[in-house]
Amino acid sequence: MTVSSRHLRSQSFHHHSPRTRLQGELMKPFTFSFPYMSARHIVKAFEVYAKNVQLTFGLGEALLIRSNDFTLQLCGEHAAFDPRVGDFLQRKETYVVPKNFRRFVSKAAWLMPRESTVRIECVKNSMRFFGAYGGVSYKAILPFDCPLKFEFEISPHRLRSALARMSDKLMISIGDGFVKMEDSAGRTVVVKRL
């Protein structure tokens, strides 16, 4: 799954193992986009259902996830499959994100309204934060000794929420159109570059 500032995109990857094959069912790759907040609720629901259960996916106007005990219908939209995402999830050259990065994101989230976004760019050995909404603006520069150059926009509230679920040491890398932040446990945030 990948995260953009407003949506979570679910891309299935076709595997040929017996564990993922459904008997008598047609398996084909699909891409479906739905709101980020829906994704958080789905994850929480699956945590409650933390048992080995077979899931059946159905795709029509909505994405259906079904087990013997429940059916979950997700409203969203079909999205174009982006093969760059699968390639990007492979480990690339990474750099350690400065520890103050979380503090800068939290401050932006504290100052900015929920529907706002903050632009984060990495240039000239620094990471710069820019956000403005109505009469409120946020600008900050975080020293970051890193040769990467990138720029992306994201909700500081959503980024803060995702970072709160990750360990303290964050690694960052860039790929063709994406920025990836990952912790040592493999929890990942992928954001589309501008």
Query: Which pLDDT tens digit goes with each residue over 45-72?
Result: 777 766 677 777 777 777 888 877 778 7
Q: Which of 46-50, 116-120, 147-151 has the lowest mean pLDDT?
A: 46-50
Q: Which of 84-93, 132-141, 144-153 has the lowest mean pLDDT?
A: 84-93
Query: Which pLDDT tens digit goes with each residue over 19-33?
Result: 344 445 566 667 777
* Judgement on whether residues 8 and 48 belong to the same structural domain of the protein: yes
DSSP character at residue 166: S
Predicted local distance difference test score (pLDDT) of residue 64: 81
Predicted local distance difference test score (pLDDT) of residue 9: 41
In a domain, 161, yes or no: yes
* Judgement on whether residues 104 and 180 belong to the same structural domain of the protein: yes
* Judgement on whether residues 145 and 111 belong to the same structural domain of the protein: yes
Q: Which domain holds residue 155?
A: 95-192
The number of domains in the chain is: 2
Domain boundary among 26, 47, 81: 81
In a domain, 70, yes or no: yes
State how far the Cα of 149 lies from the Cα of 152, in Å rounded to an integer.
11
List the structure tokens of 66: 């079904």
Q: Which residues contact 22 (CB under 8 A, 6 or more apart)?
A: 56
* Judgement on whether residues 100 and 164 belong to the same structural domain of the protein: yes
Instruction: Please report, for the domain that includes residue 111, its CATH number.
Output: 3.10.150.10
Q: Count of H helices and E strands in the chain?
A: 4, 15
* Judgement on whether residues 103 and 28 belong to the same structural domain of the protein: no
Residue 40, phi then psi, degrees to nearest 5 = -65, -40
List the structure tokens of 190: 């992928």
* Judgement on whether residues 68 and 132 belong to the same structural domain of the protein: no
In a domain, 101, yes or no: yes
More confident residue, 100 or 87: 100
Residue 40, SS3 per DSSP: helix
2 neighbors 8 (Cβ within 8 angstroms): yes
In a domain, 86, yes or no: no
Predicted local distance difference test score (pLDDT) of residue 5: 37
In a domain, 89, yes or no: no
More confident residue, 53 or 129: 129
By CB atoms closer than 10 A (0-12, 13-18, 19+), residue 185 is exposed
In a domain, 90, yes or no: no
In a domain, 107, yes or no: yes
Domain boundary among 51, 81, 111: 81
State how far the Cα of 176 lies from the Cα of 167, in Å rounded to an integer.
26
Predicted local distance difference test score (pLDDT) of residue 170: 93
User: For 70, what's the count of Cα atoms within 13 Å in the CB-facing half-sphere?
Assistant: 9
In a domain, 159, yes or no: yes
Top mean pLDDT of 80-84, 89-93, 133-137 is at 133-137
Q: pTM score, two decimals?
A: 0.65
Query: Which pLDDT tens digit goes with each residue over 74-86?
Result: 777 777 766 666 6
* Judgement on whether residues 53 and 119 belong to the same structural domain of the protein: no
Whether 88 shows a pLDDT value over 70: the answer reads no
* Judgement on whether residues 130 and 66 belong to the same structural domain of the protein: no
* Judgement on whether residues 49 and 122 belong to the same structural domain of the protein: no
* Judgement on whether residues 101 and 188 belong to the same structural domain of the protein: yes
* Judgement on whether residues 72 and 135 belong to the same structural domain of the protein: no
What is the arrangement of strands in the sheet containing 178-183, beginning at the earlier edge strand?
95-96, 170-175, 178-183, 188-192
* Judgement on whether residues 75 and 100 belong to the same structural domain of the protein: no
Residue 37, SS3 per DSSP: helix
More confident residue, 41 or 135: 135
Domain boundary among 30, 58, 81: 81
